[in-house]
Structure 1
């Protein structure tokens, strides 16, 4: 699979309407191999999550369990269910790994759609076994996109403003939060930072805020929380968005042969208000 991951990230869209064509045996095998690989389950923080593939017919599993998605997903052929512990870095790292699966499926020509709050956790929990400390932060349907995107899909994209991404001056900064980052000042990280901008996020809130160091060798990742955004769900869904941002950034860096690694450090950067929280930094040699 020699496709450009940067081009894959650019073309990935959330797919809610699927074709009647069953998923091929080869693609089922490739998905199973991917989600079973240890390297795809543990990320930079060492918090191991899990993923399970459930095949469905008319949204009903082999066990006869009907999986509820509140009408948002039409004709899925399978779901990948995410499982992790409910704490800050477990959620961030899980999403970092889960988004790799999303990009992998995209490269196979399959559609996916991150779902954190528009599905019935109880119905999915009937299908899988969870330990006491585990829960399901999200799922994605999987299948082949319907060739002619239905009006429903377009309407949902319009409602969540999926095609309206914030501009650089609202998301990215240089040295402090008082100075916005110009593209011309981003250096080698211009494309990885742009991939963060293009990444999916819950309700397209794009809560990531990046600060590039004076040297241009360290990129600090912060989250600007939307107050009470997912409090009714019992976990901070926007932490998943930060894992997605990390995945988008690192994936672009790898394709561009930009060396670096993730670290958690004291940035000494003053945050604008109490909704901001530091997550992690990317550091190059």
Structure 2
């Protein structure tokens, strides 16, 4: 296991960091990050798809190659970027986000700040920095560095503006046996905490598109996506699929910590869906 602390506690405390200290990332941390992203085992999703992650050191947002890396919004003093590369297909995106979120949580454990960015950066500038293989594109990046503790008030205010802490309640996200019955915590059994970790996870524009349905026997948890119409259509890929990979990562890591044994499958159940925006992604079944 790559984590040394409680992953559930790390998931609870992790927040996006947009304002970084001017201190360079320590050489020992840089080495550990490079080792992590060069280990193929860390880059393989639950169904076998493998993405790629590149480390880019920057000074005043300029890379060692002299390329100005553009981000839009409130990102201050990033010391480096981690850029993700994957194929633009449904499960490649889901699985890539699963592995990227695991990296984000590992960095959180090291007290290195991160901020998922899917649409608010200049892809062209990053594509100049990285040699893309055929069929690859950059679905997301994260700036990294040590959080600027003196600017916590600024970050807190920004979180309020973007409604980052306004998480939907259980009865809007999770279901019991059918989509007509909201799931309450008391009926979630062993899955109460893993499902809560999904609820607390980050998502693009805090849309929280995940919809989980727990079967009557409480052994299988089906993961669905409820798309926000036209969201990210101008970007040329379905950004909300990344949110589903994040949700799966949060859920599985919580299950592992709680010793709930199980695994993922893609076996679409015959269920009446609540609307045309909702689609099936995957299922977790206890062993």
TM-score of the superposed pair, with normalisation by structure 2: 0.97
Q: Please report how far the alpha carbon of residue 71 of structure 1 lies from its aligned counterpart in structure 2 after TM superposition.
A: 3.8
- How do residues 63-82 of structure 1 correspond to structure 2 at under 5 angstroms? 63-82=65-84
Alignment match, 2:103 = 101
* Higher alpha-carbon deviation: 217-226 or 1-10: 1-10
Structure-2 separation of matches of 1:70 and 1:187 = 43
Structure-1 separation of matches of 2:154 and 2:129 = 28
Alignment match, 1:242 = 244
**How many residues are aligned here?**
285
**Pairing 1:123–2:125 present:** yes
Structure-2 separation of matches of 1:201 and 1:36 = 26
CA offsets 1:55-109 (integer angstroms, 9 cap, x no match): 1011110011010002421000000000000000000000000001100100001
Structure-2 separation of matches of 1:231 and 1:50 = 23
Unaligned runs of at least 5 residues, structure 1: none
Structure-2 separation of matches of 1:247 and 1:22 = 29
- How do residues 17-96 of structure 1 correspond to structure 2 at under 5 angstroms? 17-96=19-98
Alignment match, 1:214 = 216
Q: Please report how far the alpha carbon of residue 153 of structure 1 lies from its aligned counterpart in structure 2 after TM superposition.
A: 2.4
Shift >4 Å, 4+ stretches? none
* Higher alpha-carbon deviation: 66-75 or 150-159: 150-159
Alignment match, 1:132 = 134
Alignment match, 2:260 = 258
CA offsets 1:137-170 (integer angstroms, 9 cap, x no match): 0000010000123554233312221011000000
Structure-2 separation of matches of 1:228 and 1:40 = 32
* Higher alpha-carbon deviation: 157-166 or 203-212: 157-166
CA 1:266 to 1:71, structure 2 compared with 1: closer, same or farther past 3 Å?
closer
**Pairing 1:163–2:165 present:** yes
Structure-2 separation of matches of 1:239 and 1:174 = 23
- What's the Cα RMSD here? 1.0
* Higher alpha-carbon deviation: 38-47 or 100-109: 38-47
CA offsets 1:176-218 (integer angstroms, 9 cap, x no match): 1000111011011000000000000000000000000011010
Alignment match, 1:185 = 187
Given that 2:268 and 2:282 are in contact with CA atoms closer than 8 Å, whether structure 1 keeps it comes out as no
* Partner secondary structure for residue 137 of structure 1: coil
* Partner secondary structure for residue 149 of structure 2: coil
Unaligned runs of at least 5 residues, structure 2: none
* Higher alpha-carbon deviation: 142-151 or 260-269: 142-151
TM-score of the superposed pair, with normalisation by structure 1: 0.98
Structure-1 separation of matches of 2:111 and 2:50 = 27
